[in-house]
Amino acid sequence: MLPSQPLLHTAVFALTVLQALASNTFIAAVYEHAVILPKAAIKPVSPDDALALMNSNMDILEGAIKEAAQQGAHIIVTPEDGIYGWRFTRETIYPYLEDIPDPAVNWIPCIDPTRFAPAPVQERLSCMARNNSIYVVANTGDKKPCNSSDPSCPKDGRYQYNTDVVYDPEGKLVARYHKYNLFKGETQFNYPKEPEAITFETPFGKFGIFTCFDILFHEPAVVLVSELQVDTVLFPTAWMNVLPFLTAVEFHSAWAIGMGVNLLSANTHNINFAMTGSGLFTPEGPVAYHYDSETDEGRLLVAELSAQPRLSPNYPPAINWSLYATSIKKFPEEDTFLGAVRKDIFTFSELRHKAGNYTVCQRDLCCHLIYQMSNKSKDEVYVLGAFNGLHGSFIKYYWQICTLLKCKSTDPETCGHPVETAQTKFETFSLSGTFGTNYVFPEVLYSGVQLAPGEFEVLSDGRLKSKHGTSKPLITATLFGRLYEKDLPHPLRMSPSRN
């Protein structure tokens, strides 16, 4: 006699849990998805047309989820905007939204789809998780009605949120997160009134979740790690790469190292918008990553990670980011000049020799560099740079940056312009700074926008050092610091809005 389908599913789920419990590791997956975008529209499409587009994207996501499960993955993260894209106004996104309940309702949409209002997207995501016995992380849109009794209620009588959802291997909704830090242009969505620090427990550690632009701010990103002590962060994103410091793989890997957690980063893939770069990042560096600015194809990444990285024998020691830099005398400051990285004014000093020691200061931040190049090309110029101030034209947040950086040409005015390729390798480099924060993210980026796993280390005194020389030409080595306490108040959160 064959077991019934529910009993069979329960047995499979129990086996998955036991396998995870028996190990200090788990298998994670992220999928970089080439999203099928809606046509630009002035008026909302019909609910049927909206669902047809979302199903087209979910068909692709379901294939990736099945493949990840077949490779033994316990959890998979899919990208921000991965179900419907991003060409929307507040009105035109409405047919794509569903009312997503609080996970406290204890709901498996796959087996009880009519319990609440119609929710075909939630039902399908739940079934993808249940049918493949895998945690599924997706990004979609939530709508919540409101009325005039709420002074912040928008004029159209509803809140609309950029929302992450997580379904467990039984298909149950276990997490819902409303994006707190909306990127410019996300006018189709509302800001939540308060930041949500969303966590959930699994057999393979404690998880937290946030979305894209959130990673650059204190709430909820730092709160999840420093206060709530999550082991792994789930990170759906639609990240547009910005050289030299904010390409997806570069900064997300650095954030995982700086914060001491796993980061499962799933980006959308659209080379016309410079969107690519996903990875499985750990406190010790990237385990797997993908960057492809040439093709239009998605990519699945699967790898084994430590379930509780803080307990790993290889877990990096605590770092005093300014210890070394404040303990030494300044090196000579030679021929400094100002240059713009986008709109941020850096203080630069050109590295005129094959080897040397340099210091560059801006306000109370001094950056120290000791280096030796393998070859000094006449066609390439490198600088040591410092930036200590507010970044951003609308939302203003405080950066402290020390960087060893390749200029776009031999013209000093191009220092800070985007560069993707280089020819110069370094035998050694050691970069440090007198940072006023504990939140510093170490970046090393090679020619072709490639990472350098295993080729650099951060010492407990705050030095970013190469281990054995660079195996590829260097674009930048950077210490990217964030002084969250100096951020200016958010211009759209200073008073209730009725947008």
Please enumerate in sequence order all residues whose Cβ is within 8 A of that of 314, keeping only pairs 6 or more positions apart, or say none. 284
What single string gives the DSSP state of each residue in 241-280? Answer: PBTTTB-HHHHHHHHHHHHTSEEEEEEB-BGGGTB--EEE
Q: How far is CA 68 from CA 31, 71, 78, 129, 423, in A?
A: 9, 5, 12, 11, 37
Are the C-beta atoms of 399 and 346 separated by less than 8 Å? no
CA angle (79 as vertex; 226, 91 as ends), nearest 5: 105
Respond yes or no: is residue 179 known to be catalytic.
yes
Q: Do the strands 456-458 and 262-267 form a parallel or antiparallel pair, or are they unpaired?
A: unpaired
CA atoms within 13 A on the CB side of 196: 21
The count of residues in the chain is 499
Percentages of the chain per state (helix, strand, coil), in multiples of 5:
20, 35, 45
Q: Which of 212, 366, 367, 402 is catalytic?
A: 212
Are the C-beta atoms of 161 and 192 separated by less than 8 Å? yes
Q: Do the strands 382-391 and 397-406 form a parallel or antiparallel pair, or are they unpaired?
A: antiparallel
Respond yes or no: is residue 212 known to be catalytic.
yes
Q: Which of 32, 62, 80, 98 is catalytic?
A: 80
Q: Do the strands 344-350 and 382-391 form a parallel or antiparallel pair, or are they unpaired?
A: antiparallel
Are the C-beta atoms of 252 and 236 separated by less than 8 Å? no
Three-class DSSP category at 414? helix
C-alpha torsion sign, points 31, 32, 36, 40: positive
Are the C-beta atoms of 379 and 423 separated by less than 8 Å? yes
Q: Which amino acid is at 222?
A: V
- End-to-end CA separation in angstroms for the chain: 60
Q: Kindly tell me the number of DSSP H helices and DSSP E strands found in the chain.
A: 5, 23
Q: Which of 143, 172, 179, 406 is catalytic?
A: 179
How many CB atoms are located within 10 Å of the residue 353 CB? Answer: 12
H/E element, 290: strand 285-290
Cα separation, 108 vs 141, in Å, equals: 18
Are the C-beta atoms of 461 and 397 separated by less than 8 Å? no
Are the C-beta atoms of 384 and 367 separated by less than 8 Å? yes
Q: How far is CA 474 from CA 44, 53, 387, 422, in A?
A: 48, 42, 20, 6
> What positions carry a catalytic annotation?
80, 179, 212
